Amino acid sequence: MVTLSSPSPSLSCVENVTCKSSHVSRVLISGTDKNNHGESSEPKILRDVHISERLLEDFTELARENTEKDLETCGTLAAFLERGIFYVTTLIIPKQESTSNSCQAMNEVEVFSIQNERELYPVGWIHTHPSQGCFMSSVDLHTHYSYQVMVPEAFAIVVAPTDSSKSYGIFKLTDPGGMEVLKGCSETGFHPHKEPEDGNPVYEHCSNVYKNSNLRFEIFDLR
């Protein structure tokens, strides 16, 4: 077991941390299919999440070398909670093993150490589809279930540089429909999932995630 005594040097986005309404906007995804993964159907009220769009841009740049080799890249998104709002302030890119359609994080104790030291919540994760479209695969859904079962507001960002209709998407499992499907699924690898009994899709675009241009963040690249 590896313990992280001193994390790798972080890349820090130098921005004003003051949150003003004029710098906050809802994340809108172009090309949204409302019938499949569009309007949120969640029956419960979720807390809002703020994230810097620059964080997505920086992650895409850090993943570029892998993307050019048709290899996925993944990272964990961590946030602090203040007055009922999650602010994503930390991106952690762990040691990982990748293929063109998978990414396995290694030595996750390092990720936990950074989160624990800063008292952050694991509110989501981000990964690339270097040569595929912007969607959640069955493996992605199982990965995300482990986040959303802990934090209902957890979301997954898929970055798809070669998808001309939608370069990224921010998704969550529908609740209760999609959560129940994944809870009852014991299959591994790529496989189809049954439709939720409530008639909703298994996953959908998030409606509670907002871009905040004033949000400062750190990136820990542990690779």
| Tokens linked to 178 | 């999609």
Per-residue model confidence as pLDDT tens digits over 20-63: 444 565 554 433 343 344 444 445 689 999 999 999 999 999 99
Pairing between β-strand 121-128 and β-strand 96-99 as defined by DSSP bridges: unpaired
CB atoms under 10 Å from CB of 109, counted, come to 12
Residue 169 clears pLDDT 70, i.e. is over it: yes
Query: Rounded distance, CA 223 to CA 127, Å?
Result: 15
pLDDT band at 140 (very low <50, low <70, confident <90, very high): very high
| Phi and psi torsions of 169, nearest 5° | -140, 150
Q: In terms of Cα–Cα distance, which of 200, 182, 177, 198 is closest to 137?
A: 182
Confidence category of residue 93, pLDDT binned at 50, 70, 90: very high
**pLDDT for 45:** 87
Specify the residue for token string 């994080």: 105
All structural domains of the chain, each given as residue ranges with its CATH number in brackets, are: 49-221 (3.40.140.10)
Diameter of the chain measured on Cα atoms: 48
Distance CA 128, CA 119 (A): 27
Q: Tell me the three-class secondary structure of 79-145, residue by residue.
A: EEEECCEEEEEEEEECCEEEECCEEEECCCHHHHHHHHHCCCEEEEEEEECCCCCCCCCHHHHHHHH
Residue 10 pLDDT grade (very low, low, confident, very high; cuts 50, 70, 90):
very low
Q: What's the whole-model pTM score?
A: 0.82
Q: How many alpha carbons lie under 13 Å from residue 18 in its C-beta half-sphere?
A: 3
Neighbours of 186 (CB within 10 A): 6
One DSSP character per residue, 149-193 reads TT-TT-EEEEE-TT-SS-SEEEEEE-TTHHHHHHHT----SS---
Tell whether the model's pLDDT for residue 8 goes beyond 70.
Answer: no
In contact, 100 and 70? CB cutoff 8 Å? yes
Residue partners of 119: CB distance under 8 A and separation at least 6 = 80
Over the stretch 190-203, which tens digit does the pLDDT of each residue have? 999 999 999 999 99
**146 SS3 class:** helix
Q: Is the pLDDT of residue 188 over 50?
A: yes
- Angstrom CA distances, 57 to 63, 103, 159, 180, 187, stand at 10, 19, 10, 33, 34
Tokens for 23, please give them.
């710098």
